[in-house]
Amino acid sequence: MVRISDGQMSGTAFGTVAVHVAPESAAGGPLSRLRTGDPVVLDADQRLLAVDVPDDEFHRRAPATAPDSPSRGYLRLVHDHIMQADQGCDFDFMPADGAAQDLAPRSIPAGWHGGW
């Protein structure tokens, strides 16, 4: 079984899992454009995640509007400043010390459609 998510998972005992696909669906990320039955390619050895949907259809599925932003408080701070999972889920104004490790899939420059 293959599982793909933009969130956390627990209780996974077997199979291939790709989590923290970024940006997340709530931010209009790639998983928000998938539909039941879409062919998905996951090659763990090549670190490749792709969906086989025609370009025009994939772009048509883009969210029409951005999600509402909280107006104030801690939720606003999180909304505006927490980085995506592939960047460490930290505040953008408080990055960890040292050089960031490059964990990006090899095909990231191509965009998620057609190769992540």
Residues assigned a catalytic role: 10
According to DSSP, residue 53 is labeled -
> Do the strands 2-4 and 16-18 form a parallel or antiparallel pair, or are they unpaired?
parallel
Exposed / middle / buried, residue 21 (Cβ in 10 Å: 0-12, 13-18, 19+): buried
Distance CA 77, CA 21 (A): 22
Distance CA 34, CA 103 (A): 24
8 Å CB contact between 83 and 92: yes
